[in-house]
Amino acid sequence: MLYWRTLPWDHVPGGLLIAEAGGRAAHLDGGRYRLQERREGLLVAGSPDRWERAREELGV
């Protein structure tokens, strides 16, 4: 999934579930998603490998 807006009430619960299941939720530059940061662009995938592949396919 790719989200442009990163409002905490939309992404914190899902980000936690993905992390607990072995996935990755991070900003497009690879930076960790943090509740207190209001940055655009959040990429979520079921595994770190899929996250990297999605990022490459997006051309980031």
Residue 16, pLDDT score: 87
pLDDT digits (tens, 9 = 90+) for 2-58: 888 878 788 888 888 999 999 999 999 999 888 777 788 899 999 999 999 999 999
Please name the residues in contact with 45: beta carbons below 8 A apart, sequence gap of 6 or more: 1, 18, 23, 24, 51, 53, 54
Question: What is the model's pTM?
Answer: 0.83
Burial 18-47 (b: 16+ CB within 10 A, else e): beeeebbbbbbeeeebeeeeeeebbbbbee
Res. 60 pLDDT band, cuts 50 70 90: confident
Q: Provide the pLDDT for residue 40.
A: 83
CA–CA gap between residue 35 and residue 43 (Å, rounded): 15
